[in-house]
Structure 1
Amino acid sequence: MKLLIGDKNYSSWSMRPWVLLKHFGIPFDEVCIELFEAGARAAILEHSPSGRVPCLVGDDGLSVWDSLAIAETLAERFPQHAMWPRDAAQRAEARSISAEMHSGFGDLRSNMWMNIRASFAGKGATPSALADIARVDAIWSSCIERHGGPFLFGEFGIADAMYAPVVMRFNTWQPALSDTAAAYARRVTQQPAVRAWIEDAQRETHVIPVYEIPE
């Protein structure tokens, strides 16, 4: 398989399937495209009809785009891995909070974007962004308290991968979190596949100016 991604420093959507594949030891070839450069969109459109990353191209040549669609496809193709919880009730909850992350939290995204190499501590804390953060904190805390941790449903899975870019945002912008949520963010940051993504991002040299200077 081949996974088309954007810059690891900035591309939050790309991070999710990459981390899943790495965590579960599923072989794939990585194609990284520097975003916002000439030819980037054309290169993406060769595989992804949406013109966006990530896009997974299977051995059969079929493309799957969008991070949550890719995660569902991987769970279907590799059922030996518990990417979703085996328990039906937990699986329904994991899908729900993953979809909530996928479709929501627009104010958090707009005000605290992903830039792993940067430090914007204390910035971006608009009332709407803080409301989104409070909801994320509540989700993490509830899941960990009810399911026992160390990750949202015990072992690392799709739900954790969906929220991994939020952890990267929190590392950069440093909003206040509850003790439970802060400890979870530290565990995600140290998870080997996440750590590998961070290290790759730190080695990148491509810069997207609009994501470098908060207002």
Structure 2
Amino acid sequence: MTYDLFIGDRTFSSWSLRGWLLFEKFDIPFKTTMVGLYSGTMAQDLAPYAPARLVPTIQTPQGDPLQDTLAIAETLAEHHPEAGIWPADPSARVLARWVAAEMHSGFGALRSECPMNLGTGYNDFAVSDGVKADLERIETLWATARAKFGGTSPWLFGKYSAADAFYAPVAARIAGYGLPVSDAAQAYVAAHLSDPAFRRWRAMGLTKSYDFEPYPMDAEKAPWPGPAPLPAQAVDSGKNAENTLCPYSKKEMTHFLQVDGRVFGFCNAFCRDKTVNDPLAWSAFAEIYQS
């Protein structure tokens, strides 16, 4: 039973990230298709799934189209109760739905003034009063959830839940723009940036280059503030490659990378390049690299 997930550009589409995490983090089978969010073809790409017109959109295994991340979360929770998309504790589940819904409908200043960009950080970003107010409210919600249900886990409700998926792009904004939050909030942000699923999403996004910036900012660019990946580079030759098949598809190898003087092969440029961008975010590659 596989879903079809339609997303926008990974580096910039915060709602697509939320939708993807709802599948990736809860081991729900899906296939991903990228639509033309910035190329102008999104309406055409989504026309077969009308009335859907935005990303993320899914098509269920039964053939039903569905748009809107909150609706997707509830549908997946209904169809896959074993996945634990919402907390098991009833009181925790009430609060988790609350904080996710408030993210879904609120924080307009943060979302409009600090668009998600996983390709860079910014120095000396001027934080408006509206963004400060949004951050204060976000910290209140995070602190309440963690105090009541977080325990020693880095996540809001102990186990990773849909609420965390909804706040992953918020964490990216706080980190990328260097926004002022408490140490406790910074620790939660760091948990997102270190999460292998988040790192895989970002690594895939970095395989695509742009001749323009969808959201140009009047601030000095800085390195991305997340964990530094293992340095790797694409190479032409597969001589002395340590593997014989692509670690992901198990197909014949045609593209290669080098890391620490060691060469590994992949079945296509995308598989290679996503690995170059963050090698150890990918468990299938990490297994052969660390063997």
Equivalent position of 2:25 in the other structure: 23
2:210 aligned with 1:209, yes or no? no
Equivalent position of 1:184 in the other structure: 188
- Gaps of at least 5 residues in structure 2 are 220-291
Greater shift, 151-160 or 165-174, is seen at: 165-174
Contact 2:192 2:198 in 1 (8 A): yes
Equivalent position of 1:171 in the other structure: 175
2:85 aligned with 1:66, yes or no? no
Q: Determine which structure has the larger strand proportion and give its number.
A: 2
- The offset of 1:23, in angstroms, is 1.1
CA pair 206-46 structure 1, distance change in 2 beyond 3 A: farther
Which secondary structure state, in structure 2, belongs to the residue aligned with residue 203 of structure 1? Answer: coil
Contact 2:100 2:166 in 1 (8 A): yes
Greater shift, 179-188 or 29-38, is seen at: 29-38
Contact 2:27 2:83 in 1 (8 A): no
Which secondary structure state, in structure 1, belongs to the residue aligned with residue 168 of structure 2? Answer: helix
**Which one of the candidate residues 100, 103, 106 is aligned to 1:101?**
103
- What is the number of residues matched between the two proteins? 215
Q: Structure 2: which amino acid aligns with 1:85?
A: P
After superposition, give the CA deviation of every residue in 1:124-161 in whole Å (9 maximum; x if it has no partner).
41100111011112211222222213200001110000
TM-score between the two structures when normalised by the length of structure 1: 0.94
CA distance in 1, matches of 2:46, 2:210: 17
Moved over 6 A (4+): none
Contact 2:52 2:65 in 1 (8 A): no
Structure number with greater CO (CA < 8 Å, separation at least 6) is: 1
**Which one of the candidate residues 36, 41, 44 is aligned to 1:42?**
44
Q: Structure 1: which amino acid aligns with 2:143?
A: S
Contact 1:113 1:211 in 2 (8 A): yes
Equivalent position of 2:158 in the other structure: 154
Which of structures 1 and 2 has the bigger CA Rg?
Answer: 2
Q: Percent identity between the aligned chains?
A: 36
Contact 1:55 1:64 in 2 (8 A): yes
CA distance in 1, matches of 2:208, 2:9: 8
1:74-85 alignment to 2 at 5 Å? 74-85=76-87
CA distance in 1, matches of 2:140, 2:211: 34
- The offset of 1:207, in angstroms, is 5.3
CA pair 208-10 structure 1, distance change in 2 beyond 3 A: farther
Equivalent position of 1:121 in the other structure: 123
CA distance in 1, matches of 2:98, 2:53: 26
Contact 2:56 2:68 in 1 (8 A): yes
- The offset of 1:47, in angstroms, is 1.7
CA pair 123-39 structure 1, distance change in 2 beyond 3 A: same
Equivalent position of 1:200 in the other structure: 204
Equivalent position of 2:141 in the other structure: 139
Q: Structure 1: which amino acid aligns with 2:73?
A: A
Q: Determine which structure has the larger helix proportion and give its number.
A: 1
TM-score between the two structures when normalised by the length of structure 2: 0.70
Q: Structure 1: which amino acid aligns with 2:192?
A: V
CA distance in 1, matches of 2:202, 2:50: 25
CA pair 59-35 structure 1, distance change in 2 beyond 3 A: same
CA distance in 2, matches of 1:207, 1:16: 26
After superposition, give the CA deviation of every residue in 1:42-92 in whole Å (9 maximum; x if it has no partner).
212332524110001011110111011101111111111111111111111
Q: Structure 2: which amino acid aligns with 1:82?
A: G
